[in-house]
């Protein structure tokens, strides 16, 4: 099995969204790389957002309330308050999937298009948290993975 190499600042997504999150009051609080799991975690006053890369699952976005444990085991196993963002808000990737379906095979969204769509989803998610429309601490759509 090949070892996955991930550049400094953890995951690719973590690097790509660092400026966006910094502009929204987030700071980098954890950046760890492993052979089969890497994560880059940002924190605001209320939220922890982890961009993770897991060899068998690919890239994922995991969230928790501020104050939740910052360790790979909790994030990877989605325990101690950590959940996939889709477990908290099931429609988080709706626009992303819609845009992907509109592009004929074998073409794909550019990385810039993906970043814009995920940035919009993150912006909506943060607004929903402020408006108490979703609760990170009580995921409604727990997945078995």
Read off the pTM.
0.78
Mean pLDDT of the chain: 81
The candidate with the shortest Cα–Cα distance to 83, out of 29, 134, 38, 32, is: 134
Kindly tell me if the per-residue pLDDT of 8 is higher than 60.
Answer: no
Beta partners for 56?
A: none
DSSP string, 28-72: EEEEEE-SSEEEEEEE-SSEEEEEEEETTTEEEEEEEETTS--SH
More confident residue, 115 or 14: 115
The continuous run of DSSP H or E covering 84 comes out as strand 83-84
């Amino acid at each position: 099995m090949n070892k996955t190499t991930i550049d400094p600042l953890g995951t690719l997504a973590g690097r790509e969204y660092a400026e966006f999150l910094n502009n929204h009051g987030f700071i980098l609080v954890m950046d760890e790389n492993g052979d089969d799991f890497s994560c880059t975690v940002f924190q605001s006053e209320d939220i922890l957002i982890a961009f993770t890369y897991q060899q068998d699952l690919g890239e994922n976005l995991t969230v928790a309330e501020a104050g939740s444990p910052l360790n790979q085991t909790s994030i990877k196993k989605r325990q101690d308050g950590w959940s996939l963002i889709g477990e908290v808000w099931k429609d988080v990737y709706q626009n992303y999937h819609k845009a992907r379906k509109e592009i004929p095979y074998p073409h794909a969204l550019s990385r810039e298009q993906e970043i814009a769509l995920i940035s919009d989803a993150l912006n909506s998610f943060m607004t929903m948290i402020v408006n108490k429309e979703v609760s990170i601490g009580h995921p409604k759509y727990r997945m078995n993975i």
